[in-house]
Structure 1
């Protein structure tokens, strides 16, 4: 029973993350609930590159560059702790930052 229950929890968690991803992609960038959906998506799957990039994009759109840098640093440590490649997220951040008006 425990093995079945664990598998079901993983399955429903995966569905939950997929629904959150769809909500984030469909909501306007300035929607109030965007932050809550992004935070929950990252809570469910902290190693999802798309979730990390979506959060960085959302924060950058609101001009919260310091929050982006903080998230980038903590996510890089988290990925490193699991020996996962953080390069794609870092590259996406470089692109996001260079696309901002007035970026240096």
Structure 2
């Protein structure tokens, strides 16, 4: 399943390199779109001992130490059929490539 992760790096307590390391260690594949936006591929049900959605797991577990009260960070499923409207071709290719599953 493909997900988009947005973190306003001015509101979180880590560097883009640290955030990218978290993503790379917890996804099958990822692509950095901008300094604040990533797309990644992760199994929908592979997190924790109890089922947690990927967005919940990223926000509440993986990024918890880097987020503060006013942090702007969100994760959501990328809808393959409509996600490429305003993305560069390489991002659209990543979103529609089933080899990353």
Q: TM-score, normalised by structure 2?
A: 0.33
Higher helix share: 1
Bigger strand fraction: 2
Higher relative CO (CA 8 A, sep ≥ 6), structure 1 or 2?
A: 2
Q: What TM-score results when the alignment is normalised by the length of structure 1?
A: 0.33
